[in-house]
Structure 1
């Protein structure tokens, strides 16, 4: 358990006590996600690593650097659900192909619901259990929703998700299997996100939506801790990350920073955000030298990164710049080949959005941004079994609505009345 931590706003640099805020910075007028600032000495800096890390190899091994609320009962979700502890797959044939010293694939598809998003959801749900919250909601293009639904099912609390109406049927079926209440929003991902905020506020639910809830990036940073530990407590030189909202990239950056400050690694690796050319909002801001990200059309087949307005764009861009990295794009036409190339070169089967990391590596090599002594990690964010043909009809159990909170309220009251 973390002995002490604060929340910091990246815009105004104000610090807030752990119990003082719940979602965004309460001072800044612009959208301002919060970042955990641990007391590194209290967390164990300077002590042997074996004294700091505890338990099985899972995300909870790094509990000393996670912002769990003090007090309240722990749930077996925190030990027995198997989130994290994913393999770092050595891929020497891909290393030879791309002319780098070493190459590994962090296979996040091995998490319980098949994606890295389980890390964020597990932390949010653990916090909900500790504080007595019985309903958690989120907006998602699929993976974050499945992660939340699975974690809520494991913890025995209610899950409500808002997804775009063209979400892959395979992902919808997964949500329903976990018992989630699913709202398919005709007006797309951004409308689903807004509905999640409004519904949480209206009905008193806990909102898990990306970046809005600061626990999301903090859960995801545990993947960086694992990479450091799996490499013998040192950092790779380059990490490629598929990027839609930018929250995974932000989380990984925070994890590498924490590792350096704890003395577990000497430097933060160069972080490379990889986007689809058909959903390039981060890339356009990067190319223009902007610190803010503006909305741009998102029509990519890579569902998990098909985001018009990244919810964590400000922090993601800053993380890329501070790590000496870059933002690149790849065309959707490369993604099918990238899925097969990654699977056949490493044994990791990734969904198209996750395979953008490998496609991005080809771009880096072509632009002369890879060196022969580079040690590279590709973050494969989701399992290939989760992907289906975009645009197929959703399950009839799903309630399709527009961006109207009143529709959510009506359906929710009807469901409660039936119960």
Structure 2
């Protein structure tokens, strides 16, 4: 049973039946008319209880089915999504200068990234609509995620990636059998082209910025984090949750999940949200600091490809996540992101890609600016596995030590 009661435009507040609109508010257009999925929380509170969750053996995001916009649960993919581990890492906390640090390792999802949560929903919605093909534009992770889930369901996928997309992510697309267009331009150009193609050919559009259902998958990371603190007193619930930001969809989903768990009485307090961007592409940080509307960044100059988004399509929701939670936005240098890859790996044993580890540098920056204190506890959401971008990992760590196959060579190298 679906508990969805409609959709609401975040700009004009007009409400629609989910059966009457597919993607965005027809009056406000896709640049501003982002829709939010509305639920009957009173009914949900009677079926999604603490006791029900604690007794549920389904350790995946589908344990939250009442809070998801699924009309045909028989279409659920066999791939296991969600219920990723949450590690308490004292050594990382010490390195960052905070009281407690937890790491939510989203690289453990089927295609190695957080985006699997969204794609698992998108493919089902496409099937419910009887779509013959699904599409999206992506810098890499959403694309490989969609390709994997579309393959698992036998649904053809066409993906648009910018020319800078990492080779490992493109390889995933091809191995899953997706049709891949490498757009010789920026992510924003790839996104607009995908939008045009979707309209022209009638493909189901998985682009999270305009498809309201994808954020519903992303919010499940917060539903899980909240549940993973069920047995803790209120003072143990983290003060901050930290996530890298590109289009604004991920941070919006993170915040919505916490709000819903609090509204349902399943979370005693909500954490503040820290959004982290790269200094070479920081439209959210600029707008938040200056208290202005969106000022697009024409060129996303950062090695963290997953957050190299100069024109964030979900600006309103992404900004509201920080404003409503009394959180903050910070920008970090690429050099700090590279250092974060080794810091996280060597203190927590978690290998994250550049965008996935940007939160490590973000915590240090937020501490320096006085947003986070040494007595605070934080949850770091690592959104993607480091194998997604081996090139950056090699830059961060350097090369191997080459030796001859003798013990003498080993001894000489040790002395050096």
TM over 0.5: same fold?
A: yes
* CA 358–45 in structure 1, closer or farther in 2 if over 3 Å, else same: farther
How many Å apart are 1:101 and its aligned residue?
A: 2.6
Q: What are the Cα deviations for residues 60-111 of structure 1, in whole angstroms up to 9, with x where unaligned?
A: 111100112x3x462240xx31111111111111122333232101111000
* CA 267–85 in structure 1, closer or farther in 2 if over 3 Å, else same: same
How many Å apart are 1:45 and its aligned residue?
A: 4.8
How many Å apart are 1:293 and its aligned residue?
A: 4.2
What secondary structure does 2:75 align onto? coil
- Among residues 129, 146, 166, which one is paired with 1:168 in the alignment? 166
Residue aligning to 2:86? 88
How many Å apart are 1:133 and its aligned residue?
A: 1.7
- Among residues 286, 303, 320, which one is paired with 2:305 in the alignment? 303
Residue aligning to 1:294? 296
Residue aligning to 2:51? 50
Residue aligning to 2:213? 215
Q: Distance in 1 between matches of 2:305 and 2:128?
A: 32
1:104 aligns with 2:99: no
The answer on whether the counterparts of 1:291 and 1:318 sit within 8 Å (CA) in structure 2 is no
Residue aligning to 1:333? 335
The answer on whether the counterparts of 2:3 and 2:67 sit within 8 Å (CA) in structure 1 is no
- Among residues 350, 353, 368, which one is paired with 2:352 in the alignment? 350
Q: Distance in 1 between matches of 2:131 and 2:143?
A: 18
* CA 136–220 in structure 1, closer or farther in 2 if over 3 Å, else same: same
With normalisation by structure 1, the TM-score equals 0.88
Which moves more between the two structures, 308-317 or 10-19?
A: 10-19
- Among residues 114, 121, 124, which one is paired with 1:123 in the alignment? 121
Residue aligning to 1:200? 198
- Among residues 377, 383, 386, which one is paired with 2:385 in the alignment? 383
1:183 aligns with 2:169: no
Q: Distance in 2 between matches of 1:293 and 1:117?
A: 26
Q: Which runs of 5+ in 1 are unaligned?
A: 391-419
The answer on whether the counterparts of 1:73 and 1:129 sit within 8 Å (CA) in structure 2 is no
Q: Distance in 2 between matches of 1:144 and 1:23?
A: 18
The answer on whether the counterparts of 1:73 and 1:130 sit within 8 Å (CA) in structure 2 is no
How many Å apart are 1:337 and its aligned residue?
A: 1.0
Q: Which runs of 5+ in 2 are unaligned?
A: 393-416
Q: Distance in 1 between matches of 2:186 and 2:24?
A: 23
1:147 aligns with 2:141: no
Q: What are the Cα deviations for residues 107-149 of structure 1, in whole angstroms up to 9, with x where unaligned?
A: 1100000110011110010122233222100000000000000
Q: What are the Cα deviations for residues 289-347 of structure 1, in whole angstroms up to 9, with x where unaligned?
A: 01434334211110100111111112111211111011100000112211000011111
Q: Distance in 2 between matches of 1:135 and 1:55?
A: 33
* 1:370-409 equivalences in 2 (<5 Å): 370-389=372-391
Which moves more between the two structures, 245-254 or 2-11?
A: 2-11
Q: Distance in 2 between matches of 1:55 and 1:232?
A: 16
How many Å apart are 1:388 and its aligned residue?
A: 3.9
Residue aligning to 2:22? 22
The answer on whether the counterparts of 2:272 and 2:322 sit within 8 Å (CA) in structure 1 is yes
Structure with max Cα Rg = 2
Q: What are the Cα deviations for residues 176-204 of structure 1, in whole angstroms up to 9, with x where unaligned?
A: 00000000001211111111111111111
How many aligned residue pairs are there? 386
* CA 47–145 in structure 1, closer or farther in 2 if over 3 Å, else same: closer
Q: Distance in 2 between matches of 1:334 and 1:110?
A: 24
* CA 47–151 in structure 1, closer or farther in 2 if over 3 Å, else same: closer
* CA 9–55 in structure 1, closer or farther in 2 if over 3 Å, else same: farther
The answer on whether the counterparts of 2:353 and 2:386 sit within 8 Å (CA) in structure 1 is yes
Residue aligning to 1:318? 320
What secondary structure does 2:379 align onto? strand
Q: Distance in 1 between matches of 2:98 and 2:59?
A: 28
The answer on whether the counterparts of 1:240 and 1:273 sit within 8 Å (CA) in structure 2 is yes
How many Å apart are 1:47 and its aligned residue?
A: 6.3
* CA 365–328 in structure 1, closer or farther in 2 if over 3 Å, else same: same
With normalisation by structure 2, the TM-score equals 0.89
The answer on whether the counterparts of 1:291 and 1:317 sit within 8 Å (CA) in structure 2 is no
Residue aligning to 1:36? 37
* CA 375–5 in structure 1, closer or farther in 2 if over 3 Å, else same: farther
Residue aligning to 2:268? 266
What secondary structure does 2:32 align onto? coil
